[in-house]
Amino acid sequence: MPTPGAPGVDLESLRELINVRLAQLVPEGAASGPAVAARHSLLAPGKRLRAIITLSAARSLGGKIEDALDAACAIEMIHTSSLVFDDLPAMDDADLRRGVPTAHAMFGQDIAILAGIGLINGAYEVVANSRAMDAERRLEVLRVITRAVGWQGLVHGQALDLSSGENTASLDAIHEGKTGVLFIAAAECGGIAAPGSTDDDRRALRSYGRALGFAYQAYDDVLDQVACEETAGKTTGKDSGKSTAVLGRRASIESATALANRHLDTAVKAVGEDTPLATLAEFIRSYFATTIAA
């Protein structure tokens, strides 16, 4: 999938900064199979959107990019671990992710599972050892990201997604657990990393992250139906039998796209139009509109 970029926000520079730091966090000389598999998945070409949200949130509140970089990379490591697990044969059984073979297709299911566990724990270690934040902020970031992963976070969301064709969970509940929780954590962690951020700032960031996550998942549901693997950069057509923004009752490509746009409007309203986060939201709107039309 092409690398995102947007006028007024140098996303390419942020992406490169994140990539360089990620490569340091899982060294190339790592000897074990799980570490090699983790590096394969982590450094595969990706948008780094969640990590960029963290950096943009910090910058929106007057913080330094460097202060939020480790928190951003921890978010990206957790996101990558969720992809490793999501692609397993027991889940979506996908062979392509970010334009390269999935971890289990390349290294086997056993190594892929260990790689995913290693990435989650590695994310916690990155935050705990970060010198960019004081101890209080490090602890708060850890609290936010562990909640995002846990029983009411990604774990819960994945379970809802797997059984969405059989249960009565609302689409919002599925999308918040599957995608929204990590967008919320990404935005909030950027606020935590910015010295002087207030409770009101963090509430606004959570609202932004939630709405952006909803928009992104709705767009992703559309891509699963209309995009080829080359365009999407991953195995598509895996949503059959699930409840999605496209496949749910009275849903369609048009209604899902309209839903995504409404959520993006909500995200921009939460943080104001003249912020890096608002520019990022508007880029996502443009990017998906172009990709869906391709």
pLDDT in the model for residue 153: 85
- In the CATH scheme, what is the code of domain 11-293? 1.10.600.10
Between 237 and 257, the more confident residue is 257
Residue 4 clears pLDDT 60, i.e. is over it: no
Q: Are 102 and 94 in contact (CB under 8 A)?
A: yes
Helix (H) or strand (E) holding 60: helix 49-60
Report DSSP letters for 66-127, one per residue: HHHHHHHHHHHHHHHHHHHHHTSTTTT--SEETTEE-HHHHH-HHHHHHHHHHHHHHHHHHH
What residue spans define the domains of the chain?
11-293
Please write the tens of the pLDDT for every residue from 254-290.
888 888 899 999 999 999 998 889 989 988 888 888 7
Tell which residue, 207, 191, 204, 189, has the closest CA to residue 74. Answer: 189
pLDDT in the model for residue 156: 84
pLDDT in the model for residue 85: 94
